[in-house]
């Protein structure tokens, strides 16, 4: 770990290789760091000084004293006002409840986070929201408020940063997601960047699915001029980097706004990134490699637009069992919207020994992977696998999940219960699980085509899809938990996943204990 000597492959590939888990590697890490000092855990939220503008609690499960109730002017349907902005921020990553635990007060969030590190911060770039002066604001989860970090109309900066994206013309507010690497790396070392990206993808997923409840569309932009956005937020990318710029536009006009493909970063940018990191990050710090990779994926004004890349053949056995999966998708009613599921969401830590219904699994998968709203960055690069451990009507084994046509293609046959517990580092969420969903990517091909920035986009997409799967599984009455810790290479060998496919995310589903 922490080796930053020059190398020929991309830093994204090198980073992913060096942050893989293996039994020998985890034993070595445990010997080097036998105990975690929990008293030194980073605070999982930012508290800024300055005037706090309380946001409305209308329609949210937030209790406030009468003297803390606030109101702002309303805006017409399809426009962002304070109430709509407040709901979107809260459903994206707000504090859903507070509990006293052994280490103090724990602030649960709307989006799940590995180890409850909560590395994602939210900002609101406000152009035209009644009751708010134009500027950049930081969302404060403790009291559901905004604190201004930069005054003035952000339009020109946003337009320049997003290469003139037409959604900036149509929006009165933009939500910006950033990642604070040290919150995750404190516990997960260099692998913390992977965790932070997945966690931010969870937040992005919540934001996208909750916006239509308010008649809006959240349109994530993953390709922007990083330095301009960093300056707008006043952040240092070695510590905290912007990950997504999300204009909020009217649902009625969103279809007219073109989705643009990702932009290619300079593939050799890592050589310049290494010099900056070596000057600023102490030798041995887990943020050293994280910062190098994040800086290597930054874009500038000279980035070239590129198109997506089709996935390669699955490589299934000639006699593979093929099971149709076109059973519809999970849906919500207008009187019981998806935001209700977000508000009540909790990760399942224990399952009981009982099979899950096949159609419920397939409907949840269809909702998670079948999005055609343009909210995913590079969905064509991701591949989805299903491990059947206890699914009614689905023989035990591993399968490739395809969407067009919707079907499961068998890769291996036989029970994998014990193997899955082992591959998942013995975590309880794999004991008695009914199924495990796995997302992978051919990282070598992806980086060769798109450059190092693709690494963050892929992981954000995997987290986004994982959160959609999480919510759909809960809606179907299942228990569910995401997982970013597993034996990487062994996963491919045991589950017959092609060696070229890098595993980037797991979701375990079952019947809640």
Fold of 41-260: NADH Oxidase (3.40.109)
Residue 6 CB coordination number (10 Å): 7
What distance in Å separates the CA atoms of residue 306 and residue 299, rounded to the nearest whole number? Answer: 13
Mean pLDDT, the chain, as a whole number? 90
Report the top-level CATH class of 322-512: alpha beta
Same CATH fold, 322-512 and 41-260? Answer: yes
What distance in Å separates the CA atoms of residue 211 and residue 213, rounded to the nearest whole number? Answer: 5
Which pLDDT does position 310 carry in this prediction? Answer: 40
Which pLDDT does position 313 carry in this prediction? Answer: 40
Which pLDDT does position 144 carry in this prediction? Answer: 95
| Per-residue pLDDT at 151 exceeds 70 | yes
Which pLDDT does position 273 carry in this prediction? Answer: 64
Lowest mean pLDDT among 272-286, 377-391, 441-455, 485-499: 272-286
Residue 155 or residue 286, greater confidence: 155
Lowest mean pLDDT among 78-82, 107-111, 299-303: 299-303
Reported as a pLDDT band with limits 50, 70 and 90, residue 113 is very high
Say if strands 52-54 and 145-151 run parallel, antiparallel, or are unpaired: antiparallel
* Residues 232-246 pLDDT 10s: 999 999 999 999 999
- Name all contacts of 152-159 with Cβ < 8 Å and 24+ positions apart: 153/127, 154/125, 154/126, 154/127, 154/232, 155/127, 157/228, 157/231, 157/232, 158/125, 158/232, 158/245
* Residues 286-328 pLDDT 10s: 778 898 889 888 887 555 544 444 443 455 667 789 999 999 9
Lowest mean pLDDT among 4-8, 60-64, 122-126, 497-501: 4-8
What distance in Å separates the CA atoms of residue 27 and residue 479, rounded to the nearest whole number? Answer: 31
Domain ranges of the chain: 1-33+266-302, 41-260, 322-512
DSSP class of residue 204?
A: H
CB-based contacts of 195, cutoff 8 Å, min separation 6: 114, 115, 117, 119, 184, 188, 484
What distance in Å separates the CA atoms of residue 350 and residue 357, rounded to the nearest whole number? Answer: 18
Reported as a pLDDT band with limits 50, 70 and 90, residue 500 is very high
Which pLDDT does position 2 carry in this prediction? Answer: 43
The residue with tokens 């600023």 is 280
HSE-up of residue 276 (Cα within 13 Å, Cβ side): 17
Percent residues over pLDDT 70 in the chain: 91
Residue 175 tokens, joined: 């939500």
Residue 486 tokens, joined: 């597993």
Mean pLDDT of 204-213: 97
Distance of CA 187 to the CA centre of its chain: 18
Residue 22 tokens, joined: 């293996």
Which pLDDT does position 4 carry in this prediction? Answer: 46
Residue 47 CB coordination number (10 Å): 12
Which pLDDT does position 9 carry in this prediction? Answer: 62
């Amino acid at each position: 770990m922490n080796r930053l000597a020059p190398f020929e492959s991309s830093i994204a590939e090198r980073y992913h290789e060096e942050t893989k888990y293996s039994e020998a590697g985890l034993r070595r890490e445990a010997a080097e760091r036998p105990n975690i000092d929990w008293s030194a855990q980073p605070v999982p939220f930012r508290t800024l000084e300055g005037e706090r503008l309380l946001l409305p609690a209308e329609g949210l499960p937030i209790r406030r004293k009468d003297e803390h109730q606030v109101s702002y002017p309303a805006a017409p349907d399809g426009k962002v006002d304070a109430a709509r902005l407040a709901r979107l921020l809260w459903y994206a990553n707000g504090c859903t409840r507070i509990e006293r635990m052994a280490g103090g007060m724990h602030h649960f969030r709307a989006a799940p986070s590995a180890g409850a590190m909560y590395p994602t911060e939210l900002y609101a770039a406000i152009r035209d929201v009644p009751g708010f002066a134009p500027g950049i604001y930081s969302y404060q989860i403790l009291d559901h408020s905004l604190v201004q970090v930069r005054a003035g109309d952000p339009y020109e900066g946003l337009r320049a940063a997003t290469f003139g994206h037409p959604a900036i013309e149509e929006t009165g507010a933009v939500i910006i997601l950033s990642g604070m690497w040290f919150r995750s790396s404190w516990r997960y070392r260099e692998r913390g960047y992977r965790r932070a990206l997945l966690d931010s993808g969870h937040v992005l997923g919540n934001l996208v699915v909750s916006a239509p409840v308010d008649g809006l569309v959240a349109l994530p932009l993953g390709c922007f001029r990083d330095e301009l956005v960093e300056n707008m937020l006043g952040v240092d990318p070695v510590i905290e980097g912007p990950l997504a710029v999300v204009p909020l536009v009217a649902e009625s006009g969103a279809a007219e706004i073109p989705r643009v493909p990702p932009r290619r970063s300079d593939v050799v940018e890592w050589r310049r990134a290494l010099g900056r990191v070596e000057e600023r990050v102490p030798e041995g710090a887990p943020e050293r490699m994280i910062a190098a990779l994040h800086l290597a994926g930054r874009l500038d004004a000279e980035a070239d637009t590129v198109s997506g890349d089709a996935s390669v053949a699955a490589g299934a056995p000639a006699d593979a069992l093929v099971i149709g999966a076109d059973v519809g998708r999970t849906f919500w009613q207008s009187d019981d919207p998806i935001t209700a599921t977000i508000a009540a969401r909790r990760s399942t830590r224990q399952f009981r020994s009982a099979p899950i219904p096949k159609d419920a699994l397939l409907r949840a998968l269809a909702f998670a992977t079948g999005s055609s709203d343009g909210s995913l960055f590079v969905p064509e690069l991701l591949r989805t696998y299903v491990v059947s451990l206890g699914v009614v009507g689905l023989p035990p084994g591993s399968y490739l999940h395809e969407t067009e046509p919707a079907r499961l293609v068998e890769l291996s046959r036989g029970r994998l219960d014990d193997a899955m517990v082992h591959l998942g580092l013995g975590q309880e969420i794999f004991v008695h699980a009914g199924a495990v969903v796995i997302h992978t990517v051919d990282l070598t091909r992806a980086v060769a085509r798109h450059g190092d920035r693709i690494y963050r986009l892929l992981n954000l997409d995997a987290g986004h899809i994982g959160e959609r799967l999480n919510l759909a599984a809960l809606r179907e009455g299942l228990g569910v938990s995401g997982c970013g810790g597993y034996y990487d290479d062994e996963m491919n060998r045991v589950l017959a996943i092609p060696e070229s496919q890098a595993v980037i995310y797991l979701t375990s589903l079952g019947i809640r204990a």
